[in-house]
């Protein structure tokens, strides 16, 4: 799957992933009205509104981006109906040829991590049958529990040729509270980066590993160091745009081959119609606004990192 992701990034000349993280407040009123008319102001109604909203955006941008990253929390907040919408979103994006990165940030130990892995990127056995329950292509994984927590995901990756992105240095302001603490004079995130490199070395695709890393756009100096520690690791970079990360800061996240990183934007793309710059599209044209913002983002990133 890492080979497919790299292939799509090259083909579309877009090291960009769009985060499908829909808050209900982002969804245009006409979509909510339609969903609530059919399902009422219920969890099912909210889930339907979110799925229709996603579908509009995906239809407008699938041909110019390699991947999407649905944030499962935004669906899980609507309970089981929300998770139905998550599953439908994953399947719809895959039907459009997109690589799907489930932003699930799971992490547990042993058989519990295996359960998350089979549920999201593998298959589960039921009697004599087997099923791919959520069937994303990649998922994000939290490393706090150590190798016991990550290894079961890596095993499923190898079996299914899927991938993970392990949180190394996150984009949020307080990420340094624990991640930056100095351990033998080096920050913890560097040790995590070394482990990611080690876990990934036994699960290699053609040029990059099935095991990627998350490193926030908001800390470019750290990105530069981590790039060197994890040369064969694809880096998923959140924090561009709404969180303050700039394209001009992103060059250190890439390798000399122009590959090695994929930059995420969520709100900046899916909520573009609320941005003055794209306001001419109006609510009805929210998906066209998202496409215009995606085109601008791809140009912005490419101009800075090539």
The footprint of a second copy on residues 45-104 (CB under 8 A) is 45-46, 71, 73-74, 76-80, 82-84, 87
Q: Nearest distance from residue 199's CB to a second copy, in Å?
A: 11
| Residue 172 lies near a second copy (rule: CB under 8 A) | yes
Give the interface size with a second copy as a residue count (CB under 8 A).
72
Catalytic residue numbers, as ranges? 105
Q: Nearest distance from residue 39's CB to a second copy, in Å?
A: 10
Residues 254 to 293 in contact with a second copy, rule: CB under 8 A:
none
A 10 A CB-CB count for 218 gives 22
Question: Of 109, 204, 229, 304, which one interacts with a second copy (CB under 8 A)?
Answer: 109
Question: Of 1, 6, 21, 245, which one interacts with a second copy (CB under 8 A)?
Answer: 21
Give the residue with the Cβ less far from a second copy, 168 or 235: 168
Residues 189 to 208 in contact with a second copy, rule: CB under 8 A:
191-192, 195
Question: Which region among 62-70, 183-191, 201-209, 296-304 touches a second copy (by CB under 8 A)?
Answer: 183-191
* Per-residue binder mask for a second copy (CB under 8 A), 129-158, x = binder: x-x-xx-------xxxxxxxx---------
Question: Which region among 3-11, 186-194, 224-232, 254-262 touches a second copy (by CB under 8 A)?
Answer: 186-194
Q: Nearest distance from residue 274's CB to a second copy, in Å?
A: 15
């Amino acid at each position: 799957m890492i080979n497919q992701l790299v292939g799509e990034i090259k083909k579309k000349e877009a090291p960009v992933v769009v985060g499908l993280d829909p808050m209900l407040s982002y969804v245009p009123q006409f979509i909510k009205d339609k969903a609530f008319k059919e399902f009422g102001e219920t969890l099912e109604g909210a889930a339907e509104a979110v799925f229709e909203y996603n579908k509009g955006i995906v239809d407008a941008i699938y041909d110019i981006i390699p991947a999407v990253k649905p944030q499962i929390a935004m669906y899980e907040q609507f309970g089981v109906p929300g998770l139905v919408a998550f599953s439908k979103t994953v399947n719809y994006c895959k039907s459009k040829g997109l690589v799907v990165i489930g932003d699930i940030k799971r992490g547990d130990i042993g058989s519990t991590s295996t359960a998350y892995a089979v549920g999201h990127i593998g298959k589960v056995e039921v009697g004599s049958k087997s099923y791919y329950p959520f069937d994303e292509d990649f998922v994000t994984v939290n490393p706090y529990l150590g190798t016991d927590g990550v290894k079961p995901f890596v095993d499923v990756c190898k079996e299914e040729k899927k991938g993970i992105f392990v949180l190394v240095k996150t984009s949020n302001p307080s990420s340094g509270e624990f991640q930056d603490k100095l351990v033998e004079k080096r920050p913890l995130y560097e040790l995590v980066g070394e482990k990611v490199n080690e876990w990934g070395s036994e699960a290699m695709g053609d040029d990059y590993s099935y095991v990627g890393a998350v490193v926030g756009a908001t800390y470019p100096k750290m990105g530069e160091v981590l790039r060197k520690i994890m040369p064969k690791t694809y880096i998923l970079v959140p924090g561009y745009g709404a969180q303050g990360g700039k394209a001009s800061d992103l060059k250190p996240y890439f390798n000399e081959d122009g590959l090695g990183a994929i930059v995420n934007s969520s709100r900046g793309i899916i909520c573009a119609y609320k941005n003055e710059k794209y306001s001419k599209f109006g609510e009805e044209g929210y998906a066209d606004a998202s496409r215009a913002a995606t085109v601008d983002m791809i140009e912005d990133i490419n101009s800075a990192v090539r």
